[in-house]
Amino acid sequence: MRIPQPPVRRRLLPARSMRRRWFAATVLACAVTLAVAGCGGDSTASTDKTVGAGSSPTFAAGTTMARLAAAGKVTVGTKFDQPLFGLKGLDGKVAGFDVEIAKIISAGMGINESGITFVETPSSQREGAIQQGKVDFVVATYTINDKRKQLVSFAGPYYQAGQDIMVKKDNTTITGPESLRPANAKVCSVSGSTPAEKIKQYVDASNIVLFDVYSKCADALRTGQVDAVTTDNVVLLGLADASGGAFKLVDKPFTTEPYGIGIKKGDIAFCQFIHEQLTAASADGRYAKAWQSTAGKVTGTTPTLPTLATCS
């Protein structure tokens, strides 16, 4: 059984003619496959934004892509309290670079925004959510590392961050990780995160405060319960930006944090499909646009897609 995939977007075709071709191809493909698989409710997207950019026109039976495309729905784990990457607004919508990456991947299966359900996956819950099938994939400032690779697989990396430290704007004593112990600083991070592990070599256990989400660390910094917050620079940048000038970054990244898309362990076909989508989005400008409309509003510089790792 082969499931049709939206065609590659061809920039030279006028939008109307492109839509006509896409519509004709979809009708034909649906006629062939409807009886066995359906045509993924939201795949008849009417705008460029929702048309996928995958290079393969069909999905092999039994693959994650075939299943999701046929359902026309996908469940994605992300953060809900991290400005710039994944922040749930008062309107109930989640916004950020991770959310845009999830949309790019979903569009490649013909699933538009309305077919995506975002569920909150705090740092310590990401592997479990994937293993238990609560989510189809996770895009959540999720560092690829060997420990996690025992439990899940990763596509990517799609971005590279680095661990940094955030303090109150008038703090001059905390200047980097080495300054934390001499200052007897209380440092906040999040359970199940890589920064919470790494900071142990710079701070005594009694001075480490762990919450489930970073917004609680920002609150603790504001109220003076802790002296510093540590996690990835881009996560801190979002929190500092949202603080209206109350917080600043030390701006001395001391780790590398390659962000991956977490998927079921060993789902190599899905990993390769995600790589195709990222590569296509990087080539046609959607990756840059995703950054510029989110994190880029604060960071300025637009990254290029890092070299993708081999799927395993």
Residues forming the site for ligand GLU (CB under 6 A):
123, 140-143, 190, 193-195, 231-232, 235, 257
- Closest to ligand GLU by CB, 257 vs 276, is 257
Q: Which residue is nearest to ligand GLU (CB)?
A: 193
Nearest-approach distance from CB 140 to ligand GLU, in angstroms: 6
* Distance (Å, whole) CA 149 – CA 147: 5
In the sheet that 81-82 helps form, which strands lie side by side, from edge to edge?
81-82, 86-88, 94-95
- Closest to ligand GLU by CB, 140 vs 281, is 140
Q: Is 132 exposed, middle or buried (0-12, 13-18, 19+ CB in 10 A)?
A: exposed
Nearest-approach distance from CB 260 to ligand GLU, in angstroms: 9
- Closest to ligand GLU by CB, 39 vs 228, is 228
Query: How many residues belong to the chain?
Result: 312
Nearest-approach distance from CB 200 to ligand GLU, in angstroms: 14
Q: Which two structure tokens, joined as six digits, stand for 31?
A: 């006629």
* Distance (Å, whole) CA 40 – CA 3: 9
Q: Which two structure tokens, joined as six digits, stand for 250?
A: 């030390």
- Closest to ligand GLU by CB, 118 vs 142, is 142
Nearest-approach distance from CB 289 to ligand GLU, in angstroms: 23
Bridge partners, residue 161, by sequence = 257
User: Regarding beta strands 94-95 and 208-211, do their DSSP bridges make them parallel or antiparallel, or are they unpaired?
Assistant: unpaired
Nearest-approach distance from CB 68 to ligand GLU, in angstroms: 24
- Closest to ligand GLU by CB, 5 vs 78, is 78
With beta carbons less than 8 A apart as the criterion, state whether 88 and 33 touch. Answer: no
Nearest-approach distance from CB 156 to ligand GLU, in angstroms: 12
* Distance (Å, whole) CA 153 – CA 137: 10
Q: Is 310 exposed, middle or buried (0-12, 13-18, 19+ CB in 10 A)?
A: exposed
With beta carbons less than 8 A apart as the criterion, state whether 74 and 117 touch. Answer: yes
Nearest-approach distance from CB 87 to ligand GLU, in angstroms: 13
- Closest to ligand GLU by CB, 41 vs 258, is 258
* Distance (Å, whole) CA 277 – CA 1: 22
Count the Cβ atoms, other than its own, within 10 Å of residue 243.
17
Nearest-approach distance from CB 214 to ligand GLU, in angstroms: 7
- Closest to ligand GLU by CB, 233 vs 277, is 233
> Tokens 């200052």 map to which residue?
183
With beta carbons less than 8 A apart as the criterion, state whether 114 and 122 touch. Answer: no
Nearest-approach distance from CB 126 to ligand GLU, in angstroms: 8
- At residue 271, the 3 state secondary structure works out as helix
- Closest to ligand GLU by CB, 66 vs 129, is 129
- Closest to ligand GLU by CB, 123 vs 215, is 123
